[in-house]
Amino acid sequence: MTETLTISHIGGQGDGVARTDRGPVYAPLTLPGETVQATVRDGRAEDVRILTPSADRIAPVSPQYGDCGGCSLQHWAAAPYLDWKRDQVRLALAREGIETEIEPTVATPPGSRRRLALHARRGPDGRAILGFKARRSWRLVPISACPVADPRLVAAIPALKAVAEAVLEHPKSAPSLHVTWTLDGLDVDVTGVERRSGGLSRDAQMRAIGAAADADLARLSLAGETLVMARQPRVAFGPAVVPLPAGGFLQAVPQAEAAMVDRAVAAVQGAKRIADLFCGAGTFTFPLATVAPVLAADASEAGIRALKAGVASASGLKPITAQARDLFRRPFSPVDLKGCDAVVFDPPRAGAAEQSAQIAQSGAAVVVGVSCNPTTFARDARILIDAGFGLERVTPVDQFLWSGHVELVGVFRR
């Protein structure tokens, strides 16, 4: 049955929400204040037709808009969109009873994302297609243009289809090509290749290697294991140039990374020794080492090796000590953190409750939390606040443009 709905607000995943007697109804690609007609099933609006558009509605710029599941808010004007992301941080903190200064959201420009995960499938004609998943579906939307991505990634898609052809050897494979632009060109790590049958045959590997050469890839790897490398892919972290591990973590947008790094470095000025926890390959480590000696730790042994290799590329840094350690199973204790008067931590989406509890008991005077999940950040912030820290300010960062995701940097002081 078709219903008329009025959208009251945008939910945490980026869908519009209409309040009804039966509970909330989620309507994709709508905006607050809009009146829409839709078929409602199980609390979701389908076949949505806008009757009264919002004054904040703008024309989307992607040819795949409405079908691709990647950009849920491309139709929203910049100012209210960025304010909404800021409000998501406020709501997450409020659920933990936390009030603090929340700075305006740091915007990132279109065409700036240096990492994409492109899914590969067989098309109706049997040939490989590359694209993103459709909204609420396993169906693939072929990508010919992407306004959030670095144009160099988009330009490589035709050549990457040949790589996809090679890794689609097994009918049960559902590969994804994780494509990263580096100082040395494209780095591609392929996941989702069916392994129970023995993985890629030698013939398929040779086809993939040939396709990588034709595409001028710096490196092609399978689930973190290098298949062929023409050039070592490198990235710059502050004054250092670091060899990126195959399949290793890297912030998606350089401008977002710079905004977070700048705020962390500013917060720890005057520190005598800094701990950088969940450090990866050194995103924050090297900029922090311009201020004071750094103790860095991460579970990724490949990341720590890359960080150590990067130390030799930079001059004028304070000493860096790095170790591979699973900070979920073995968080740094106050003894491990002895002498560190500043701590920076950037955990995965799950946050770092156990590590936060140990930081709270340490002698650190300033803590910088970096997070891609406001909810787990707020939980960890509560631990630090209960131990005597004050949350001085939080800065939201719009790393994933036009999506419901928001990242942030929070500064705590005793």
> β-strands 176-182, 140-142: how paired?
unpaired
Ranges of H-type helices in 35-105: 78-95
Cα-Cα-Cα-Cα dihedral sign, residues 121, 124, 130, 132: negative
Select from 133, 132, 197 the least CA-distant residue to 171.
197
Q: Is 279 a catalytic residue?
A: no
Active-site hit among 68, 279, 340, 372: 372
In whole angstroms, give the CA distance from residue 174 to residue 168: 7
What phi and psi, each to the nearest 5 degrees, are found at residue 119? -85, 140
Residue 42 to residues 23, 27, 47, 48, 257: CA-CA distances in angstroms? 10, 12, 14, 15, 39
Tokens at 305, concatenated:
């090796």
Maximum CA extent, the chain: 69
In whole angstroms, give the CA distance from residue 370 to residue 348: 10
Element (H, E) at 161: helix 157-167
Element (H, E) at 213: helix 202-214
Residue type at position 353: A
Residues 6+ apart with CB under 8 A from 33: 6, 7, 52, 54
Taking residue 413's Cβ as centre, other Cβ atoms within 10 Å add up to 14
Residues assigned a catalytic role: 372
